[in-house]
Amino acid sequence: MTVNASFVSPTADAKVAHMITQFDTAGLLSTLVNGFTFWKAALALLVGAVLYDQFMYIYQKGSIVGPAMKMPFIGPFLESVNPDFRKYHAKWTSGSLSCVSVFHKFVVIASTRDMARKIFNSPSFVKPCVVDAAYKLLRPENWVFLDGKAHVDYRKGLNGLFTRQALEQYLPGQEEIYNEYYKRFVELSQVTHKGQHIPFMQEFRLLITAISCRTFVGHYCSEEAVKKIADDYYLITAALELVNFPIILPFTKSWYGKKCADMVLDEFSKCAAKAKVRMAAGGKKECILDFWVAHMIESDNYRKAVEKGENPEKPAMVIRWFSDLEISMTIFTFLFASQDATSSAATWLFQIMADRPEFLEKVRQENIEARNGDIHAEISLDALEKLPWTRAVVKETLRYRPPVIMVPYLAKKDFPVTPEYTVPKGSMVIPTTYLALHDAEAYPNPDSFEPERWITGDADQQTKNWLVFGTGPHYCLGQTYAQANLMLMIGKASMMLDWDHKVTDLSEEIKVFATIFPMDDCLLTFKKRTAA
Ligand code: HEM
């Protein structure tokens, strides 16, 4: 046994002490003490961060389906720059709950009908997240980000803008826009492109912006402003991809999107100011803005009369006075919510009708009959909604190609979504609508377009599967309007236009650009319809 050898303390052992000195001159300790440079520290930090990121992912993933490891930090960010519907579909079918992690964000996807419904209907655990960039574009104080009672109360004040009586008043303005744009479609096809098929997806987006602007802000927005909004709106969509770079850097998609959003907010604020003047002077209500401002004035008059000690008749709902910017932010949410979803539905509707002329003919006949043979006659909301084939093709298009396939929510606290799995607080939770709408039990032959299921079948009874407009406290505020508008759109087109679709291998492939579109952007050509 050597001197000082003991089993008590190795450092008290002269031999061990010597070994440590040897080790130190060649290695770690001296490195730490003598050569601990900035770069080595940075490297150590990076390795630590990668390990932490990986550990957190595996820990949060728990028992649900997802990649075994995560690409350090970014995860599948590069894939999300170019989203692929097939990959999304594969993910949904991989399990009722699956996950990915992108940058710092852990994302849980709920794909089956019941799991999706559970997320939509759990407002005490989740709130809408939209996408990160949406807070920056729509402004964090926007009503759509309100939660709980504050959200319910604000939303109640907006219901009056979407009543049947209100929707009826928006129809003439919409008819005008369709007349104008359908002429433009013909000119574009016949004059500019000499009858050649061209991609129409972008044209539908412009049409929908014009329809939205007329419905929401009437004639308060100049034609140039509508055109600018229509031309630039895609910048907002591009900035709102599901996952985007976390900060707004100059000349990136988010930066251009924010500039465009600020321009739209500014335009709508000006419209709100003009509506306040016109409604105060007793102007006729023609658009959503008019209905809202008239309601504010009515409420204000009521309050003033009560203050004076009078006994005025109380409006059905008394609302407060809203600033021009508040109104503008809210109208912007309507544009935002409507634009991509309705453009998607419109594109598929025109494509599907061209590919299935037997249904288009039924739509045409019933629309002409409802107008007593005068294709230019206006139609009431009631009459429009009673057209069975027009309603059925719209419903079936929305089921067959649901525009909104995913609705991002945020877990406000740990969410025990199943007995086995708890979604961690702060995660994004995304219910999907597609599988519920392609469920063979609810909709036999789900991948086939069969509008009859809405006439002679029981599709209308499958309310649990009908997730096109979401469900729960945030279900789509514009759903009645959106469907009536699509019926008006296809009904008028069927009477005024003939159109042909050039079918390519990509026509039925799905491109994801916020919502979904045919991969070939829908190659169409339009002619004015002369025969009745
Ligand atoms: C085919 C067209 C449309 C589709 C497929 C669609 C679908 C949806 C979906 C899936 C949601 C989320 C629901 C949820 O979280 O439960 C939503 C929310 C919303 N939609 Fe639509 N939408 C359409 C058109 C419109 C239009 C035209 C408007 C406005 C005029 C509109 C206004 C809104 C608003 C304001 C919300 C948020 C409601 C809230 O948070 O309380 N949507 N929509």
Note the pTM of the prediction, 2 decimals: 0.89
* Among 109, 87, 103, CA closest to 406: 109
Q: What's the pLDDT at 22?
A: 46
- For residue 461, pLDDT over 60 is answered with yes
Under a CB-based contact definition with an 8 Å cutoff, are residues 431 and 116 in contact? yes
Average pLDDT, integer, range 439-467 = 98
Q: How many residues does this entry show for the chain?
A: 532
User: What value does the mean pLDDT of the chain take?
Assistant: 90
The pLDDT tens digits for 4-20 are: 333 333 333 334 334 43
- Mean pLDDT of the region 514-525: 96
Given a cut of 70, is residue 27 above it in pLDDT? no
In Å, how far are 121, 305, 441 from 337, measured between CA atoms?
A: 20, 37, 30
pLDDT (0 to 100) of residue 1: 37
CATH number of 146-400+474-528: 1.10.630.10
| pLDDT beyond 70 at 516 | yes
Q: Is the Cβ–Cβ distance between 178 and 492 less than 8 Å?
A: yes
DSSP β-bridge partners for residue 428: 107, 410
Closest CA to 224 of 242, 243, 244, 210: 210
> Range with the lowest mean pLDDT among 85-89, 132-136, 379-383, 452-456?
132-136
* pLDDT reported for residue 338: 94
pLDDT of residue 462: 98
Using CA atoms, how far apart are residues 226 and 532, in angstroms rounded to an integer?
A: 33
Q: What is the distance between the alpha carbons of residues 191 and 229, in angstroms, rounded to a whole number?
A: 25
pLDDT of 454 > 50? The answer is yes
Q: Which atom of ligand 1 is nearest to the CA of 144?
A: 40
* 342-360 pLDDT, tens digit each: 999 999 999 999 999 999 9
Question: What's the 95 CA to ligand 1 centre distance in angstroms?
Answer: 26
Could you read off the pLDDT of 142-192 as tens digits, one per residue?
898 899 999 999 999 999 999 999 999 999 999 999 999 999 999 999 999
- 470 CB near ligand 1 (under 6 Å): yes
Pick the residue whose CA is nearest to atom 41 on ligand 1: 474
Tell me the pLDDT tens digit for each residue of 235-278: 887 887 655 666 777 878 888 888 999 999 999 999 999 999 99
Q: Which residues pair with 524 in a beta bridge?
A: 198, 501
**pLDDT on residue 8:** 35
Tens digit of each residue's pLDDT (9 = 90 or more) over 303-335: 999 999 999 999 988 999 999 999 999 999 999
The string of pLDDT tens digits covering residues 66-113 is: 888 888 877 777 777 788 999 999 999 999 999 998 888 899 999 999
pLDDT at 267: 95
CB 386 within 8 A of CB 404: no
Contact between 437 and 453 (Cβ < 8 Å)? no
For the segment 222-241, the average pLDDT, to the nearest whole number, is 84
309: helix, strand or coil: coil
Residue 531, pLDDT above cutoff 80: no
Q: What is the pLDDT of residues 371-413, one digit of tens each?
A: 999 999 999 999 999 999 999 999 999 999 999 999 999 999 9
Q: Is 468 in the pocket of ligand 1 (CB under 6 A)?
A: yes
Range in 1-5, 54-58, 342-346 with the lowest mean pLDDT: 1-5
Best mutation site among 154, 167, 212, 476 for ligand 1 pocket (most ligand atoms within 8 Å of CB): 476
Is ligand 1 within 6 A of the CB of residue 129? no
Nearest residue (by CA) to ligand 1, atom 31, is 478
Hey, where are the domains in the chain?
146-400+474-528
Give the closest residue to 66 by CA, choosing from 125, 8, 107, 19.
107
Ligand 1 within 6 A of CB of 474: yes
